[in-house]
Structures are given as structure tokens and as C-alpha cells.
Structure 1
Amino acid sequence: MTRSPIQSGHDVVVLGGGVAGCVLAARLSEDPGRSVCLVEAGPDYGPVQEEWPRKLRDARALPRDDVWERHTAFYRIRARVLGGSSCINGAWNTWGSFADHAEWTRAGGEPWSARALEPYRRRAVERMDLRTGPDEELSAWASAALAAAGELGYPEVDMGSPGAPGYGRPLLNAVDGRRFNAAFAYLDAATRSRPNLTIVDRALVDRLVVRDGRVRGVQIVVDGERTTLAADTCVLACGTYGSPAVLLRSGIGPAAHLKEIGVRCEADLPGVGANLSDQPGVFVPLSPTPQLNAALAAKEADGQLYVSRMLVRAASEYCPDGAWDLHLLPTAGPPLFGKLPPGQYEAGISAFLMKPVSGGHLRLRSADPLEPPEIDPAFLTDPGGRDAAVLRSGLRKVAELAAALRPLAAPAGGPPAHTLSDADLRSRVGTYWHPVGTCALGPANDPQAVVDARGAVHGVADLRIADASILPTVPAANTQLPVLAVAEMLADTLRA
């Protein structure tokens, strides 16, 4: 296919076509007088949903074809396709606690409060057509888990709004097993037809063009050829791993690290690549009874088997009153990794640490945009051991929930997970895939802060960041809905 020449000289270039990038491109191009270019490293499969790969449209699976790295460490998985993580995740949308917003307000002021973000949350829910799944999508396992959570004293709560600990069903960007990703929601045929919106796919962002403390454009690589796009404003939306990598290649970051990789320092911002926070968890396997296997097989034969459709927001003894710091996630279905014989399924319950205090980092091995970055999530490494203690509290709650589900599944053997040593917990830890914080929000006098309340990069003019990387702390939620809402809010600041 012959690619049309790429036009330069836009009012705004949005770098990264993931969840946040789709929001920004759609909202900013609503003004016909503003030219917007959206750049995505992965493919754009177009405006016709039926022409997208079947795997990306199937909400029952976690597709792993359109990703940056195949066969890599589990925590490194990130989408490389227009629509970003909304194309490959579990299609779940939950919201954090008022305590989360108190943290964000301390970093960014009133615009980051629960009250101020509420209209943007509602706007995202409407645009993504988020809804609770129908009862027929509940498997025997999910139905039993809902009942068991109530029997254990958890109240039923709305998972898509601020509230309290409890159990419930998440909002889904999926209908009848069909995933409705952010590209479908925000970049529909009508939006794509705007003459002031250009989408450039399969284009790798190399580095920003920085002169005299101001960003003038961006260098991208398309079909092996390097092209410079001039722009009045550049908005990074490459995600928690991609956005800091672009900044570092552009000379924006810790001066000492930039010197190590041979990049001239344009702005010494020590927080770039620091403050990485993700939500670790441990899966507790259970042995399904023949009755559960039979029920799951029947559900799968009907095309209605979903691995999970409920969760519990739980509070450890370390959690502030009214908040939660754990997700308990019962799952049953085909294994995420590996295979089982026909008619047999994997069942279990995961405890996820939603508010970790351990901090990881991202660094570059070189200035080559093709070389993957060094990523260390530093799970359960805080010196005081609080993260391990909270996770262990969650695993005790998992044991209580598993006991209530005993008619459908039994312990798989071995010592109870909550009795494992810290070292054994670390060896079994997985992730919820919700990294944030590598370009954190904060005031200019905070040496670890990278952006202000409007997403503007400290000390660099005409550069914004608007994705999960700027969240100063990870919310006690799946991050898709919070990122959608934050992108909606930041789009308004750019339109002002």
C-alpha cells in the first residue's frame, strides 16, 4: 500500500493513539478551526468495526497480538494499536475512592478533586457506553461469588462511582461479547471525516524537537523514513512506559541519566521515569468440582463464558476509613496462560494490592527508539514491608471467600497463601496491568513532579502530557475509566 504524504504544520499533534489519545484527538478536533494530528505506533484498522481483527473485538479474551513486546515479562505488556489498552484489556471500568482524589488534589489542586472530575467521569461513561453486564453473562462461579460476598457482610456497591468497600459488578465497554474500544467510541466514522483531523498509524515517535526551552515539533519514523512534524503544541499520550521514554530521548529528564545514554539535557526533570506504581497481586488457585466444570462447559458452549464478572473492594487494617486498598477477584474459565483438557477449567481468587507504596522506575538502555526500555516495577520492595502486609491481609480475605465457595471449588493444596514468606509472595506476584506515575503531577517546587495541573511539562513550553503517566498515585481502581475522565478534563484545558 502506498502511503499518502504526511502533512506537517498542525495546531496540535497528539502522540499516542491509546485511550487518552483517542479522547484528545476527538475532543480537540471538535473545533473546525484547529488542525489536529494523531500519531499511533501501531495499526489503525479503520472506522468499520467488523473489519477489525476478531480477537480485538472479542471481550471474552485478552488478545496479545497487537502489543509492543511478545513473550516478555508479564508486567511489560502494553498495547500497540489505535485504541490502546482498551483493545486488549478485560474491558472493566471501576472508579477509585474519595481518598484517591484527596491525594490527587494535594498534587494538582481543585481540578483533580472528586467533585471537579465527576462531570468528566459521566462524559466518559456515556461516550464509551459503559454498562453493567446482563445477568446471563454471569457464570455459576460469578453468581456464587456475588452471593458469598454478601453472606460475608460486604455491602453491594456501584463499582463505577466513588463510594465505600463492598462487592459489585464493574461497568463494561462490551456488549454481547463484543468489545467497544476507545477508537470505536471516540474515532467513529463521523469524527474521522473531519477535514481538520489526521490520523497517522504505524508511526514510531522518536523524539521531540526542543529549541530554547520550547517544543517545536516531533520526529517520527514511518516505513523506515524519519519525518518531522511541526506543531504549535505537542501532547504526549504514549502511556506510562511510552511517554517518559519519549521525554528521555528528547533530553527531558534526569540530567545524569541523559548523560549516560548520550542525550543532551534540555530540561533537568528528575521525576521523568521515576515514581512508577503498579498494582501487584497473587492468584490463589482452587480445584473446580465436576459440577463447576460442567456448568462452565455449558456456558462456554452457549458463547456466554466470561472469566469474571464481579469483584470485591476490601479494606486491610492499614486502610483509611471509608476507603479500600484491595480488590478480590474470583475467576473461573480457560486459563490465562497454558491450556487444560476440554471440559476442564481454571478457578481461583486473586488479591490485588490497589494502593502500593513501593516505587519502581523506567530508564532507557540507549537513545534508540527501537530498543525497549528498562522497567522495574519494584513490587513489594518498600523498606517497611507494608505492601507485603497489605497483600497478606488480602490473601486472608481470599481464604474466607474461598471457604464460602467450597461447594464449587476446593483448595488446590499447599500452605495457605497468606502464610507464605515475603520472598515466596514476591515469587508468585503478578500484576493488574495498571501502571501510573512516571511523569507525575505536582507543583513546580516538587523535584519529582513533571507536569502541572493542566498537564503542562515544567520548564518546557508548548508540551503537555495527558495519560496515566501523570497520575501522582495509582487509584484503588482499574485505571481505564480514570484515564478517560482525566483525558476529557485535560482536553478542556487545551480547548480553553
Structure 2
Amino acid sequence: MTAGPAAAGYDVVVLGGGVAGCVLAARLSEDRARSVCLVEAGPDYGPDRQDWPPTLRDARALPRDDVWERHAPVHRIRARVIGGSSSINGCWNTWGSEADHAAWERAGGPGWSASAMEPYRLRAVEQMRLRQVPEREFSPWSRAALAAAAELGYREVDMAAPGGPGYGTPLLNAVDGLRRNAAFGYLDEARSRPNLTILAGAVVDRLDVRGGRVHGVEIEVDGRRERLVADSYLLAGGTFGSPAVLLRSGIGPAAHLAEVGIRPEIDLPGVGANLVDQPGVFVPLAPTAELNASLAAQQAAGELYVSRMLVRAAGEDCPDDSWNLHILPAAGPPLFGKLAPGEFEAGISAFVMNPRSRGRLRLTSADPAAAPEIDPGFLSDDGGRDVAVLRSGLEIVERMAATAALKSLAGPLSGHPARDLSDERLRARLGTYWHPVGTCAVGSDDDPFAVVDGQARVRGVSNLRIVDASVLPTVPAANTQLPVLAVAEMLADTLRD
């Protein structure tokens, strides 16, 4: 049900209605004796698909209306709507490597291993009704890209399951062009439960932390300040939202808190640190008239999707039987800007999937309405490894564009190959895969920068956990939606008893 704050409080308050928050609210409210309140800063458009804005329903586009900052740099884009990033992303679901889970297990314990996570991966796939790409959604470009990957010697693999390098298609949380976000996947069957309250349009200001315990949470609803009280608090504000709430609550690096006028309650230097995202470069190509015509026909039929395949590739400094690049061919309407009717953008991107570079998030003010300072730190690692991996990815892009399958549909533009650009010009071309993680990372007891333990408990606070992408200690070699769904399923199990 949807309602205002209850004066009597709740057993559990989930702060953030994104991907992880939807999982938590649905799973924990299965126990009808447990009262759960899900708090979301953005709107909740409800269970009826027709009540949602057309842009949020359309799986062919990346909507940018329900976000925290309009016209912000691309690395800052984050959803402000129930369902979170699953309401605005590309509906792609892929899985990481054995090396990813080995790193997670070292940080979080055996529950984070590949084998331990497998049941939760399968549970998330089933709950979200993830599906294979139907044949009609392949454009001539996507079909040619599949052939090009095979021409380069890659084998076909299941992108949403454990495995090695290869080419294939993601699993989709979309049917017939309709985006099936996490609110549809998890909340629809839970909304009628009397023990679940969904409180939308409520911005979390700060947690009242005293004596190593949260005593309440201050929120703003329609310009009014309210206070929610619960036995347990689950922070699920995402990689940018969760550390910001902790910092406003006095949990974080003491020196930084003092700089913005916040009294430190718990000195946790890892809050806002360890920010990692997947940078990449798009290499544009010149589509032929025939490709433009075929794309226009598919767009007129309502079946044009910019990309429906990818390659997991091993670039520079990659572990054996693993991958550290996504090679992503795309053709369709430009992501940024516009082209004349009947003309389309075509090209191939290379994304660095396991970068060593780290950025950070800091507050600019104690005001929850103030945008945080976000430095993604792209290609900043001391040894230059990330630049080397990116260049090796661009070399694969160049070879893929030259295959017989693709060169008949698009040719190279004039100018130097992207892999030969200077570091400065390469950085100027950088984009992002939009998969930030790590700002409240899980870690062992001897890790001074760990914010949570293997069961997501915040250090020094007895009744507070964080469950979202911010706790991932490293970014997986994957799109992060499916891994976050699985992690939330896993951590929800630890909270059921």
C-alpha cells in the first residue's frame, strides 16, 4: 500500500526504492508479521503500466526525465523513481567472471563466492522474467556483429551466466518494447500486503545516529520534515546516494565531515572512497545508405534497438580464461544529439570492465538538495594499466570493424585510429558504461577502508546495513543490474530470520 509515515514506526525501513530496495521490500514483507516501509525520493507510478510515462515504459530508449540532475555530466546520471536504474537503463543483464567473485569472496567471505551466489542469480532471473533477445529485435547491424565476432574467432557464450570470453546476447528485462523494471518484477506482487508501506516523494536527509545505533531517520516529504523510526534500517540509495546519506549522518572521514560542518559520529574513511566505474570510447563509423535504409525500416516497424549483442574480450593484463573488456557494436538513433531523418549512428565501443582507477564522492554541503562532488577518476591509476587495456580494446574494435561482416555496412571515418590517439585526446573521448560501485565497500575486519562486513552491516552501527551497488568492493566484468539483484536477494536471505 502507499501511505504517509506511521507514528508507531516499523520493524524495517528500506531507504531507497531502486533495484536493491525493491528486492528488499518484496522479500522482507513476505513475513506478514514484519512491517516494512520502502522510502523513495522520486515518484511511484504504481502497478498499472499505463500510468507510467511512455518514456519510462519504452525499452528502446534511455529516459532522462526521472533523474536527480538534468543536463549533468554523463557519469553523474542516476535515477530518481521507483525501480531506480532499472527504470532508465538499457534493460541488459550480464554476469561477471570467476575472478570477480574471487575478489568479492576475499572481501565479504564465502557467501560472496561464485558458487554461493549462483542460486541468487537464478532466483533474480526467474523473478524478473529475464528473456533472450527475440529474433525480430536483431537489426542487420546486430546480426552482422554476431557474424563478425565469430569471424574474429570468438565462441558463443551465455552472457548472463558464468563462463569465459566470447560473444553473445544479454538477457533482457523487457517484453515487446515494454521495460519491465524492478518495481514491476518485485513490488507488483507485494503492493497489496498490509505490512508494506511505500512512501514515494520522500528525500532522506540524515540518520539520527547516537551511541552506535540509529534512532530514527529524517526525511522531507512535500516540503515537510518527517521522522521515521524502526528497529532496523536498510540503506539502499545506490552508489551515489548511500554514501551521501552516511556522510550527512556523521558517518565517514572525520576530516571531510568537519570541512562541511557535520559533527563526526563514526570515523569511517572508506565512505565515499573506492568509487569505480567502467570507462570506454565509442568509435563512430560511416553507415552505408543501405544500412540507413534498413534501420529506418526497422524503426518504422517499432523494432529498432541500438544494440543487441556484445563481446567479452581479453585485453591487456587479463587473467586467464577471463575478460576485462566489453566490445559493444551499436547502430541506431544517436545517444546524444540528433541526425537528419533517415540517418543513423553506427559504431563500436570498447569498455574497460575491471579498472584499477578509483574516484570518490564527497559532500559539497550538509543540505540534502545539494549535489555531491563526484570524481569518477577514470584512467587515473598510477601504472597506466587502464589506458593500456582501453587501447587493446580499441585495437579489437578496429579489427572487428574490418571484418567482412561489418565493413559492407559501415566504413571508417577519416582521421587517426582511436587506439593511436594521445592519452589526452583519449581521455577527452571517454564515455561511461554507467555502472558505478564501491563507495561503501564490503571488506574484512582488517581493511581500514571497509564500510560494511560480509552481511552488509555498517561498522560501528548495530542496526544499519547497506544493500546496493555501493557495497561491491570491485566492479564486475558485467552490466551491474543482474549482480545487484543477486546480491540483494542474497542479503535479504540473511535478514529473514
Q: TM-score range by the shorter chain?
A: over 0.9
Partner residue in 2 for 1:377? 376
Pairwise CA distance, 1:6: 4.3
Partner residue in 1 for 2:146? 146
Q: Match for 1:377: what amino acid?
A: P
2:486 equivalent to 1:485: yes
Cα distance change on mapping 1:3 and 1:62 into 2, 3 Å = same
Pairwise CA distance, 1:7: 4.3
Contact kept in structure 2, 1:166 and 1:314, CA below 8 Å: yes
Q: Match for 2:266: what amino acid?
A: A
Pairwise CA distance, 1:216: 1.6
Point out where structure 1 has 5 or more consecutive residues left out of the alignment.
none
Q: Give 1:116-127 correspondences, 5 Å limit.
A: 116-127=116-127
Partner residue in 2 for 1:285? 284
Q: Is the partner of 2:44 in helix, strand or coil? A: coil
d(CA) in 2 for partners of 1:41, 1:359: 28
Q: Is the partner of 2:229 in helix, strand or coil? A: strand
2:85 equivalent to 1:88: no
Partner residue in 2 for 1:262? 261
Contact kept in structure 2, 1:14 and 1:21, CA below 8 Å: yes
Pairwise CA distance, 1:444: 2.4
Deviations 1:44-100 (A, max 9, x none): 001111211111010000000000000111100000000000010000000000010
2:197 equivalent to 1:198: yes
d(CA) in 2 for partners of 1:159, 1:14: 31
Q: Is the partner of 2:311 in helix, strand or coil? A: strand
d(CA) in 1 for partners of 2:478, 2:326: 8
Pairwise CA distance, 1:165: 0.2
Pairwise CA distance, 1:162: 0.9
d(CA) in 2 for partners of 1:349, 1:8: 55
Partner residue in 1 for 2:38? 38
d(CA) in 2 for partners of 1:269, 1:493: 24
Q: Match for 1:68: what amino acid?
A: W
Cα distance change on mapping 1:443 and 1:4 into 2, 3 Å = closer
Pairwise CA distance, 1:8: 4.5
Partner residue in 2 for 1:26? 26
d(CA) in 2 for partners of 1:97, 1:428: 27
Partner residue in 1 for 2:419? 418
Identity of aligned residues (%): 72
d(CA) in 2 for partners of 1:460, 1:313: 40
Partner residue in 1 for 2:49? 49
Pairwise CA distance, 1:413: 1.4
Partner residue in 2 for 1:387? 386
Q: Is the partner of 2:208 in helix, strand or coil? A: strand
d(CA) in 2 for partners of 1:395, 1:151: 17
TM-score, with normalisation over the residues of structure 2?
0.98
Q: Match for 2:342: what amino acid?
A: G
Partner residue in 1 for 2:474? 473
d(CA) in 2 for partners of 1:115, 1:148: 33
Pairwise CA distance, 1:4: 4.6
TM-score, with normalisation over the residues of structure 1?
0.99
Q: Match for 2:61: what amino acid?
A: A
Cα distance change on mapping 1:385 and 1:4 into 2, 3 Å = closer
Partner residue in 2 for 1:295? 294
Deviations 1:105-128 (A, max 9, x none): 000111000000000000000000
d(CA) in 2 for partners of 1:382, 1:201: 40
Contact kept in structure 2, 1:332 and 1:348, CA below 8 Å: yes
Q: Match for 1:150: what amino acid?
A: A
Q: Give 1:173-322 correspondences, 5 Å limit.
A: 173-188=173-188, 190-322=189-321
Q: Match for 1:201: what amino acid?
A: A
d(CA) in 2 for partners of 1:437, 1:444: 17
Q: Give 1:61-72 correspondences, 5 Å limit.
A: 61-72=61-72
d(CA) in 1 for partners of 2:216, 2:315: 47
Q: Point out 4+ residue stretches in structure 1 off by more than 6 angstroms.
A: none
